[in-house]
Amino acid sequence: MKIKIGLRTIKTAICAAVGILIAQQLGLLYPASAGIIAILSVTNTKRSSFETGFYRICSLGLATVIAFCSFKLIGFNAVAFGIYLLLFIPLAVKGKMSEGIPVSSVLVTHYLVEKSLGLSLIGNAFCLLFIGVGLALLANSYMPDISRDLRKSQQKIDEKIRQLLLGMSHYLDKNGDVISCDPLLSQVVVALVEAEETAQRHGDNQLLTNDDYYFNYFTMRRLQVNVLSKMNELVSQIDYFHGETAQVRELLVFSATTFAEENNGLEIRKRIEATLAYYREAPLPITREEFENRARLYQLLNEFERFIDIKIEYTINNQKKKLSWD
């Protein structure tokens, strides 16, 4: 069995070892705590590591104040520590400092063991925290660039959506090979979930900028795929009636061949409106079956209009962002 050692594991091991060595060289009490804090502070992204470190520092300040009151009033014993936890935990949670509860409480036990709340011991606790958190921030200052992976995911997802549009056009073709689009839909949904998670991680690694382009792009595609899922259900219920579906087939093929990141969707929207106008002017259905088929076609076109509107709205919002940056 292969054991995979990732970058985060390497960072964590180095930070823990270096943290203990630094604390020992500075003559701090409980130097191993610096290593433990470093282990708990190395996270997946720069932003989460920074936020974790900040809240842990604030949390230790709050914990020290509560511990001072508890230990001074009751004494340095287990009961006082229990009272401290009863007060500290809900206040830390309310102050959104939950990340700091374990670390701060471990450092507070140093006060309990030493039976002291002198400035030197408080300073010792903060030094241990600064070492652990500081090393974690330093380690996470380097994060590999995953923009190339995001670009590949973008291309992969767009290609699958093209295949979905073509697959639906085949459903409406009398002489076409009918292949279920269900497996392809499942694949693109899984790919989108993974891509959004990667894009979120990429955004969280930008401390000084707000690079949410990829996350917003994949969110837009996910909304479109939700509509495609409904379209897929409708397409499977539509029958071929004397060329009745020809206009919709051409529309789907055109959309698939022009489907691209830079396509704003306006031309496709015009074609959808033209197709709707064509069916309004076409002779009315005669049989009940033909009438139901025409109704499904209308519904399909309305869903396709929603599909395109999502891209148009995304493009407009993206252009507004660019103008605000300029």
Structural domain includes residue 287: yes
Q: Which of 227, 203, 197 is nearest to 311 (CA)?
A: 227
Distance of CA 75 to the CA centre of its chain: 47
Instruction: Give percent above pLDDT 70 in the chain.
Output: 90
Domain count, the chain: 2
Final residue of a structural domain among 104, 139, 174: 139
| 315 & 229 share domain | yes
Structural domain includes residue 87: yes
| 45 & 63 share domain | yes
Q: What does pTM read for this prediction? A: 0.71
Structural domain includes residue 1: no
Do the Cβ atoms of 245 and 172 come closer than 8 Å?
A: yes
| 155 & 239 share domain | yes
Q: What is the pLDDT of residues 65-107, one digit of tens each?
A: 999 999 999 999 999 999 999 999 999 999 888 888 999 999 9
Structural domain includes residue 135: yes
Backbone torsions φ then ψ of 87, nearest 5 degrees: -90, -40
| 159 & 301 share domain | yes
- Distance (Å) of CA 71 to CA 57, 104, 189: 21, 15, 55
Query: Is the pLDDT reported for residue 244 higher than 80?
Result: no
> What type of residue sits at position 144?
P
Per-residue model confidence (pLDDT) at position 201: 82
Structural domain includes residue 229: yes
Query: Is the pLDDT reported for residue 323 higher than 70?
Result: no
Task: Specify which of 152-156, 266-270, 280-284 reaches the highest per-range mean pLDDT.
Answer: 152-156
| 27 & 176 share domain | no
Rounded-to-10 torsion of CA 83, 84, 86, 88: 160
Per-residue model confidence (pLDDT) at position 241: 57
Final residue of a structural domain among 94, 111, 139: 139
| 111 & 250 share domain | no
| 82 & 209 share domain | no
The CA distance from 12 to 14, in Å, is: 6
Q: Which structural domain range is residue 313 located in?
A: 147-325
| 254 & 221 share domain | yes
User: Of 256 and 237, which is predicted with more confidence?
Assistant: 256
Instruction: Give percent above pLDDT 90 in the chain.
Output: 43
Q: Is 173 exposed, middle or buried (0-12, 13-18, 19+ CB in 10 A)?
A: middle
Final residue of a structural domain among 87, 111, 139: 139
